[in-house]
Amino acid sequence: MTDSSAVLGRERAAVADACRRLGAEGLLIGTAGNVSVRVEERVAITATGAVLAELAADQVTVVDLDGKIVAGTLEPTSELDLHLGVYRRYGTGAVVHTHAPMATALSLVLDELPCIHYQLLALGGTVRVAPYATFGTPELAESVLAALEGRSAALMANHGALTHAPTLDKAVEHALLLEWACGVYQHAAAFGPPRVLGEQQQLAVIEAATARNYGTTHPVAPAQEEER
């Protein structure tokens, strides 16, 4: 084990930055939650007991895929096995687990968050709620891993939410999107049962997004610029 900041130094700093951003957005409170990023066979992950909204890079520990500490002086989060399980099963690049208020609230009452808005398709559509299990246990890890099948996000009953993505930035974006969608659902449910997008409507959105390269900027063609 080494304390050298050269071991995934850039990734450790990025994890700390992501935690501070999530804290500023209100998705993290105190020491609750954890964030990690994977580079080949190593994972930079938040330390247990760290205040995430104020996290520094030296509070991020590096482990291998078996959970052995490679760099850092602090024990990794109690949800280490959950993060490693996501990496092993889905080959993803980053994991974000929060106790975000709206996501946690809906995890208390729903079996799944339905696809109420086409942006949820970025997470795979309907977001499943993993059955409750004690934090840090193999039972919780397996429950969440099952809920993530074909999805980039899952709610965790009476606990919080988890998102994953190829990059840390995208995993953070997924966490923010999920919290937004949970808030929209909660506000709509106050007025009545929220309408849900059907399978054909979802497929139409996917086709339209693919055809239009949705989500990226497009420069105006020269001829159009002259007409303006």
Distance CA 144, CA 114 (A): 17
Structural contact between residues 159 and 107, judged by C-beta atoms closer than 8 angstroms: yes
Structural contact between residues 90 and 38, judged by C-beta atoms closer than 8 angstroms: no
φ and ψ of 187, to 5 deg:
-65, -45
Number of H helices, E strands in the chain: 7, 9
Instruction: Determine the longest span between alpha carbons in the chain, in angstroms.
Output: 64
Tell whether the torsion through CA atoms of 26, 165, 85 and 52 is positive or negative.
negative
Distance CA 22, CA 77 (A): 17
Whether 79 sits among the annotated catalytic residues: the reply is yes
Grouping H, G, I as helix, E, B as strand and the rest as coil, residue 71 is strand
CB atoms within 10 A of CB 174: 23
Distance CA 157, CA 78 (A): 18
Structure tokens at 190: 């106050």
Q: CA nearest 115: which of 211, 54, 205, 14? A: 205
| Catalytic residue selected from 11, 41, 79, 149 | 79
Q: Which residues are catalytic?
A: 79
